[in-house]
Amino acid sequence: MRLGNVPQPFPYQGSKRKLAAVILDCIPKSTKRLVEPFAGSAAVSVAAAWTGRVEAFWLNDAHSALMSLWTQMLNAPHALADHYERIWSAQQGRERDHYNEVRERFNREHRPADFLFLLARCVKAAIRYNRNGEFNNSPDHRRLGMRPATMRKNILLVQQALGGRTTLTTGNYRNVLSKTKTNDLVYLDPPYQGVCKNRDNRYVQSVIFADFVEELERLNRHHVPYIVSYDGRTGDTTYGEKLPKSLDLVHTEILVGRSTQATLLGRSHDTYESLYLSPATMKKLGNLPPVLREDACVVPTLF
């Protein structure tokens, strides 16, 4: 599926915008609801709503400030856009001090528009907290963050796409999985293994590999269809542990970044991300979608 200009609710490190088109093609036609237990910026759900691929959605994330942002985006989009505009405009001429003030205020009050501004302005749109649970990422000095007019347009388009048909929750992914059904499609995009390991987990809980596998086994037993983004590799260097064969998943690798130097010391440095399709998903699809079989940018590997 080719995607037009799908709106982006907010910049977010780890967003699956690049993969959304491929993942949409893996969603069985009979799917009644798309569930994202690790929502982040929910690039896949936004794309599915935008293209009319699915009718109902459930977005969940363990990060409560993020889910407050989603709640205001879907329930009071004009107020959010107005507030962002006021914060963004107030930075002119004193950008660094203003960023620090907004960051301090966010750490005291956790207001969604402050969080949106921080995401738009900070380095790599990455959420970082210190040991005291305070957001501590620095501003990116090369840019001022998304302009208010563009932000407003995106917020309103995302609200039109997802508003009125999306359930929003904050909590651990396991609580969500226990409530999923056979006519759902669950898209799981946990933080990369290793990313969360050494981090203060006051706001974002870590995902233990063994627990995660156990949850997938349970989904298999209940015939709930799911798709997982988990590990990947750049050239010969892999990151993350592969999911076990016992889960009976179809594993594909998708080329997401082509190195400008095709080879360095004889090794390719292209970046691939893994996508796993569950037995129930494959049963509903009947076959891998053509994009995973034929596209030159996709290298399927079955096991």
Ligand X SMILES: C[S@@+](CC[C@H](N)C(=O)[O-])C[C@H]1O[C@@H](n2cnc3c(N)ncnc32)[C@H](O)[C@@H]1O
Q: Give the one residue of 10, 16, 151, 177 binding ligand X; rule: CB under 6 A.
A: 16
3-state class of 3 per DSSP?
coil
> Is 46 or 113 the residue whose CB approaches ligand X more closely?
46
> Is 193 or 205 the residue whose CB approaches ligand X more closely?
205
Task: Yes or no: say if 252 and 301 are a contact pair by the CB < 8 Å rule.
Answer: yes
Residues near ligand X (CB under 6 A), total: 21
State the alpha helices, DSSP H only, in the chain.
20-25, 43-50, 64-75, 77-89, 95-109, 112-121, 148-162, 173-177, 209-221, 279-285, 290-294
Q: Which stretch binds ligand X (CB under 6 A): 9-17, 49-57, 245-253, 267-275?
A: 9-17
Distance of CA 252 to the CA centre of its chain: 19
Note whether 42 binds ligand X by CB under 6 A: yes
What DSSP line would sit under 128-165, residue for residue? -B-TTS-B-PPB-TT---S-HHHHHHHHHHHHHHHTTS
Q: Which residues contact 248 (CB under 8 A, 6 or more apart)?
A: 220, 278, 279
Q: Give the one residue of 205, 234, 268, 271 binding ligand X; rule: CB under 6 A.
A: 205
Q: Give the one residue of 57, 135, 173, 272 binding ligand X; rule: CB under 6 A.
A: 173
Residues 271, 294: Cα–Cα separation, whole Å: 19
> Is 69 or 298 the residue whose CB approaches ligand X more closely?
69
Note whether 232 binds ligand X by CB under 6 A: no
> Is 61 or 114 the residue whose CB approaches ligand X more closely?
61
Q: Give the one residue of 6, 7, 11, 15 binding ligand X; rule: CB under 6 A.
A: 15
Contact positions with ligand X (CB under 6 A) in 179-198: 189-191
Note whether 63 binds ligand X by CB under 6 A: yes
Task: Yes or no: say if 84 and 102 are a contact pair by the CB < 8 Å rule.
Answer: no
Which parts of this chain interact with ligand X (CB under 6 A)?
12, 14-16, 37-38, 40-43, 61-63, 172-173, 189-191, 204-205, 207
